[in-house]
Homo-oligomer: A and B are copies of this chain.
C-alpha cells in the first residue's frame, strides 16, 4: 500500500482558511468556561452557546441541551450515503481553573503564540482539540458539500469536574447517539513528531480527607503537647499510604490489577523514552514511585495514590503559634484495569479508619471516580486512524498508554457498545492543568489534517 496522504482538496481548504481557523479558536479560548467555579457559570454557558452557533454555521444541526449541571452541546450531520457508518466525536468545552494566576506568562484567557506554541487555558485541554474536529468537519462540508459518514459531535461542559451528568445523558439519549465508533481527541502524543493512539487510560478515585480536632484553633503554647494536633494526625495518615518500596500499603489495593498484555509491554520498551529527559522536563533530579518498574510502566500500567492538596492552620507570612482545629487533604488514586473506584473507596476508608489516631475525627469523602480503560486495538476505526495520522505526520503512529483518566471513555464503550478511538495532539509538558497551558501550533495544524483525512480513510 502506498503511504497515505492528506486529500488535496482538504489540504488546500485548510491551508487557505488557516488564519480564520486560528482566529475563531482564539475567540473560543477567551471564554473563561471554568466549570468548577459557580461564578463562571455564565461563561461556561456562553462557551456552549458559542460552540452551538459554530456547529450550525458549518452545516450541522446543533442544540445546547440542559443537564442538571452544565449543558451538553450536540451537533449532528446525518446526510451521508445510505449504508455509511456513523461516528460520534466527543470533546469538552469546559476548562480547568486558571489559578495560580501569577504563574502565567501571559493571561490564561488571552491566547498568545510564542515559540510556535499557543498558550491559553483550554488550548490543549480540550478546546483546541475539539476545534480540530469542528474545523476538519467544516473542511469536508465546505469543499465537498458532504461528509462520507454521519457525524454526531457531543461536547460536554463538566469534564474538568468529573463528567457527573454525562453517563446519564448518554444513557438517556442512547438511541440518538447510536454509532459505529467514538472518536476522542483529549490526550497527548508520545513525543513531538510521533503521532499516537492510546491503548489504555488509568481510572480515578478522588477523595477529600478531613481531620477535625479541637472546636477552635488553640494557642499552641497554652494547649500544645496535650491535644492531638489535626495537622500532625493528617500527616501521619498520609504517611501510611505507601510502603518503603513505593507500593501502596492499603490492604487489597492491588487485588484486581490485571497484568498488561505482553505485546503492549514489549512495545512500550521500544519507545524512544529517556528517564534523563523526563527528569529534565519535570525539573527533578531523582524519580520516585514503585521500585523495579520503568517510568512508562509506572505511568501507564500501575495504580497510584497522590496527595493533590493539603491545608491546615496558619499559612500566611511569618509565625503564628496556632494549634489548628482542623486539617484537610485531597488525595486521589489512579486506577488500572480491573480496579473499581467504588472498591478502592471502601479499601481506602477502611485503611484510614485503622490508622487514624484517637483524639481527632477523620472523615473521607469520595469526590469522584472513573473506571480505568483498555482499548481493543483492532478494527476499522483504528486502521483508518493509523493511516490518517501517517498522512498528516509522515509516520505511522505508536501505541501508547496514558496515565490520566477520561472516565467518559468507559461510559461510551459500556453504554454505546462500540470501539472508542483516542487520538490526541497534545505533547508532554503541555501544562494541561497548570499555568502556561499550551498546544504546539504545528500539532494543531497536523491534527486538523489527520482528522480531516480520518473520515475518508474510515469510509474507504
30 contacts between A and B (CB under 8 A): A97-B316, A103-B216, A206-B321, A214-B283, A218-B282, A219-B433, A222-B432, A223-B282, A223-B403, A225-B298, A225-B299, A228-B284, A231-B238, A231-B308, A231-B310, A231-B329, A232-B306, A238-B239, A239-B239, A284-B359, A284-B360, A285-B358, A285-B359, A287-B359, A307-B313, A308-B320, A309-B312, A310-B313, A313-B330, A319-B367
**Which chain B positions have C-beta within 8 A of A368?**
319
Query: Are A317 and B403 interface neighbours, CB within 8 A?
Result: no
Beta-carbon contact of B36 and A318 below 8 Å:
yes
A306 to B320 CA separation, bound complex (whole angstroms): 12
| A311 / chain B contacts, CB cutoff of 8 Å | 310-312, 315
Partner of A283, one of B96, B216, B320: B216
Q: Is A31 an interface residue (CB 8 A)?
A: no
Q: What sequence of 0s and 1s flags, for each residue 317-358 of chain A, a beta carbon within 8 Å of any chain B beta carbon?
A: 111111110011110101000000000000000000000011
Asked whether, in the complex, the Cβ of A308 is within 8 Å of the Cβ of B235, the reply is no
A residues near B, CB below 8 A?
36, 96-97, 99, 103, 161-162, 188, 202, 204, 206, 208, 213-229, 231-232, 234-236, 238-239, 241-242, 278, 282-290, 295, 298-299, 302-304, 306-324, 327-330, 332, 334, 357-360, 367-368, 402-405, 428, 431-436
8 Å CB contact of A434 from B217, B225, B278:
B217
Contact of A308 with B324 in the complex, beta carbons under 8 Å: yes
In the complex with contacts A225-B299, A309-B312, A315-B328, A357-B288 CB distance below 8 A: yes
Instruction: Please pick, from B222, B314, B367, the residue contacting A188 in the complex, using a CB distance under 8 A.
Output: B222
Q: Which residues of B contact A360 (CB under 8 A)?
A: 284
